[in-house]
A = this chain, B = another copy of it.
């Protein structure tokens, strides 16, 4: 499909990151043809090149969920208004963002139906019907679905009114089992982010004011974008018996006594696509980590017309070898575009490896590999081609992770006062570790004065003796940052 041509008319050059990071982001996603704005406020179209990234995310996470005993199901997206009233914090948290269906099939509805912003209530209702005995537990279900949160300010992928996500919902006999599940899923998210998306993340617990509406404890993984801002890349919630009490999810235990279930929920969404772009992209465009890239290797035949047929023939052979080895490759032998144009094009699209083959390489039995991320050229023997490509893919993942981690570490500081934090955020930008006394008032003051929110309380962080706001003894070390 050549339709990207049209969208590219709007983006002649990509704005450099240093000049205007937001402009850079929009330029890149338009030019790489990942999305279009839609006529509905805050909703985007996930175009094929963008959606394919989501498909790869789905495939890998789904595999991991199933490996850990979860199964998929699908619940209605309409949620009766009365369901939201059952969990007090939940309704307060989500009510302002709900779209309401008030008419259907030509009639006014007796009870308004919300479009799900998340499904704890609907699923809680169903679990109360399904679960009777300890023998029914645990229930380990995941759902891939669209959800809607009518946001005031939206940004493609990172925050859209309708978005795609997965939401796991599990029910357990006791707190210990539910907490184990909560942590297991958080660890799956961390491992996926780091070892698949090459995004280093900070694992930790949300402060009470930042936790999920209705949760006892919320845990998150937080990633740093190249402008120093944070993206919450995944969350896992221990819900205690809050939803079980609200929806009457009870079971008969081994002593024949009724007990409330302990439940969890956990999710990641299409905002991961935005994080991928903002963590790895550069002034030349997208840079996709090899494991998630829809095209891992692009192969470009070069040289004059007279050697063309032989070169393309050899490229096709090498392509078949890659395909047989499970590498996602593509050949671009379009004679209407120059190799130079193609080099730029696939760099902009973030393809991790470019393969060049010309008549001289044919003579020498060689082939050239070029890394998108480092620009390094490797001349390799054709009979080692597949191994060399696989090696470079592995190295590229590691290189991208290392770069992202180095960037993050270089842009983390410790701030002992609100002034220090503000100076840091207005200047160099990034994340700051600070002591916090545990009071919501101090946290709110940080937000008001600096625009930064507490991202989480990292599982691993240096001890900080005093609260950055009140100077009282610190209860936790918190990572603060401005966030998307």
A: residues with CB less than 8 A from B are: 1-3, 5-7, 36, 38-40, 43-48, 51-52, 54-55, 71-80, 83, 95-106, 113, 115, 122, 125-126, 129-133, 135-136, 139-141, 145-146, 150-152, 162, 164
Contact = CB atoms under 8 A, between A and B. Distances in A.
- Consensus secondary structure, chain A interface: mixed
Contacts of A104: 98-100, 150
Contact of A47 (B43, B73, B96): B73
A75 B38 contact: yes
Q: Which 9 pairs across A and B sit closest by C-beta, in order of nearness?
A: A105-B150, A99-B104, A48-B71, A43-B76, A46-B74, A3-B130, A104-B150, A3-B136, A100-B103
Nearest to A62: B55
A40 B140 contact: no
Nearest to A47: B73
A6 B38 CA distance: 45
Contacts of A100: 101-104
A131 B113 CA distance: 37
29 contacts: A1-B136, A1-B140, A2-B135, A3-B131, A3-B132, A3-B139, A6-B136, A36-B126, A38-B75, A38-B76, A40-B79, A45-B73, A45-B75, A45-B76, A46-B75, A48-B73, A51-B74, A52-B71, A74-B164, A77-B162, A78-B99, A78-B162, A96-B106, A98-B104, A99-B103, A99-B105, A101-B115, A105-B150, A145-B146
Contacts of A5: 132-133, 135-136
Contacts of A36: 126, 129-130
Contacts of A97: 105
Nearest to A99: B104
Contact of A45 (B101, B105, B126): B126
A199 B74 CA distance: 25
Contacts of A52: 71-72
A117 to B, nearest CB: 11
A48 B162 contact: no
A237 B46 CA distance: 24
Contacts of A54: 74
Nearest to A149: B105
B45 A74 contact: yes
B99 A72 contact: no
A130 B71 contact: no
A87 to B, nearest CB: 16
A244 to B, nearest CB: 15
A396 B164 CA distance: 38
A115 B77 CA distance: 11
A96 B105 contact: yes
A41 to B, nearest CB: 9
A404 to B, nearest CB: 27
A6 B71 CA distance: 18
A95 B107 CA distance: 12
A65 to B, nearest CB: 12
Contacts of A1: 71, 136, 139-140
A152 B122 contact: no
Contacts of A83: 39
Given A7-B130, A40-B80, A126-B36, A152 B105 contact: yes
Contact of A55 (B43, B72, B78, B95): B72
Contacts of A106: 95-96
Given A39-B80, A126-B36, A48 B141 contact: yes
